Amino acid sequence: MSRALGWLTALGLAAGLVLAFGVAPREEIQGNVQRIMYLHVPSVLVAYLAFAVVLVASVAYLARRSEAADRLAQASAEAGVLFTGITIASGAIWGKPTWGTWWTWDARLTSVAILFVMYLGYLLLRAMIEDRERAARYSAVLGIVAALDIPLVHFSVSWWRTLHQPPSILKPGPTTMPPVFLVVLLVNLAAFTLLYAWFVTKRVRLLRREVEAFA
């Protein structure tokens, strides 16, 4: 099943790449740099998903002391940090020609940076505490608290004045994005979601084997 998911992920990523560069038209105002959207937007949405899974798995661990839930939380947090890093890097590359700067401390970028640091702290906390049960318990609490920043990240462009454009999807009302752009974006989002699922599946398996090896 993991192998099938891996092949499906590879096909999805290939399809997204072809659509982004071979089908989606050149954006009239920003030009070809706008194609970074097909990497930037899916990566942040999948990061939201990853940290939402951390939240649910952390609550499940605290409620039932389920080691499976703890492993899922750790694996999902690692994936979330990876996709958040991609979000920040791709946003900086997009921002330089669009805004004239790689980075600015507006509400969106600042809240994303805080999110990134909190989940890096989550992973660091797990690594620093030798007692597995105590590390899982403390990390679960941090995983729940850190998730409170996700709505702040998403709605920051609506609540405050920022350089960042308002959300194109996951917003009240219909999207104003042209259909061809939306289709390409959704294909890439599906591909990134599959990549997240494949990564978490493999990582959970490795974490389970580590526990069995030291049992």
Q: What letter does residue 34 receive in the DSSP assignment?
A: G
What is the structure's pLDDT at 173?
A: 66
pLDDT band at 125 (very low <50, low <70, confident <90, very high): very high
How far is Cα 23 from Cα 119, in angstroms, rounded to an integer?
A: 36
| pLDDT greater at residue 84 or residue 175 | 84
The overall average pLDDT reported for the chain is 92
Specify whether the CB–CB gap between 115 and 153 falls below 8 A. Answer: yes
The pLDDT value recorded for residue 172 is 66
Render pLDDT for 133-169 as a digit per residue (tens, 0 to 9). 999 999 999 999 999 999 999 888 878 777 777 776 7
What is the C-alpha separation between 163 and 154, in angstroms, rounded? 14
How many C-beta atoms surround the C-beta of residue 164 within 10 A?
17
Q: What is the mean pLDDT of residues 69-87?
A: 97
Say yes or no to pLDDT of 16 above 90.
yes
Residue 105 confidence (pLDDT) above 70: yes
Residue in 149, 190, 194 with CA at minimum distance from that of residue 54: 149
Task: Pick 170 or 94 by higher pLDDT.
Answer: 94
Are 114 and 149 in contact, with CB atoms under 8 Å apart?
yes
